[in-house]
Structure 1
Amino acid sequence: MSMVSEFKEFALKGNVMDLAVGVIIGGAFATITTSLVEDVIMPIIAFIAGGEINFKNMFLILGDAPDGVARTYDALKAAGVPVLAYGSFITVLINFLILAFIIFMMVRMVNRLRRADEVVEQIAGPSEEVQLLREISAKLGNINK
């Protein structure tokens, strides 16, 4: 088997394709979550706090800043000044918590659907195919004795 055909077999397996789709959707979902945090939640927090709060500009300067450099996060980073950006970390943390909560809710919903399917299967009993397989197995068991 050539390397190209092996790669084609690997790349076209269901699990690999499912993973690729999951990664693409996850990337898009992360963008939505980032927008939710930065454009909706953080402004609400700033409003509740009583003024405009720019979490990106919440930082501590850990080194000496050269003269003439503005005291903004972007300007300090561009100048190579070490900056402890705790505001950005807060934003990322909130983003993660929202994303984790949404994933938790999705997993919870899938688990409920699975349990519901199991209950239906228990109430309905085994499918017709399963019953036929049991009969065949029983007859083969009698023949082998």
Structure 2
Amino acid sequence: MGLLTEFKNFINRGNVMDLAVGVIIGGAFATITKSLTDDLIMPVVGFLFGGADFSGYFLRLGALPAGFKGNPESYADLKAAGVATIGWGEFLTVFVNFLILAFIIFLLVKAVNRLMPREEAASAEPIATPEDVLLLREIRDSLKK
């Protein structure tokens, strides 16, 4: 079997195509979630805590390098210049983004589980014992007597 044929068989498996579709939809969904967090939720959180851009909160650890041309109050400028900073506001933004995404996925899984048929009804029916097992039980009981 040639390499191209093996590759074709690999790609044609349902799992690979499902995974590819999931990755593409996940990427688009992450973009929507990032916009929801950055453009709607974090401005409100920033307003409540006294700042319009919450992701700009940071703690500068290192000194400014010689010839620094950026704004010393800009996290992006300091980060680009290689100044040691703790970007706790950016981390908080990403963490809230994660929580929103996790909650939406939780709701989706919960909705799908409600739509799926339950296996409990099928397992409630008694399972018939195979005839050979019944015969072996009879033989065992006869030998005990």
Normalising to structure 2: TM-score of the pair?
Answer: 0.75
Closer, same or farther: CA 36–112 of 1 in aligned 2, 3 Å: same
Residue equivalent to 1:75: 77
Of the structure 1 ranges 68-77 and 36-45, higher mean CA displacement relative to structure 2 is found in 68-77
Residue equivalent to 1:59: 58
Unaligned runs of 5+ in 2: 126-145
Distance in 1 between residues matched to 2:76 and 2:47, nearest whole Å: 24
Matched residue of 1:102: which SS?
A: helix
Q: Which has the larger radius of gyration?
A: 2
Deviations 1:65-114 (A, max 9, x none): 12544211111112111111111000000000000001111111111112
**Are the counterparts in 1 of residues 60 and 84 from structure 2 also a CA contact under 8 Å?**
yes
Matched residue of 2:105: which SS?
A: helix
Share of identical aligned residues, percent? Answer: 55
Aligned length in residues: 121
Normalising to structure 1: TM-score of the pair?
Answer: 0.75
The ranges of structure 1 where at least 4 consecutive aligned residues each deviate by more than 2 angstroms after the TM superposition are: 46-49, 66-69
Deviations 1:10-66 (A, max 9, x none): 0111110010000000000000000000000011122333x4331222111111112
**Are the counterparts in 1 of residues 55 and 92 from structure 2 also a CA contact under 8 Å?**
no
What is the Cα-based RMSD across aligned positions, in Å? 2.2
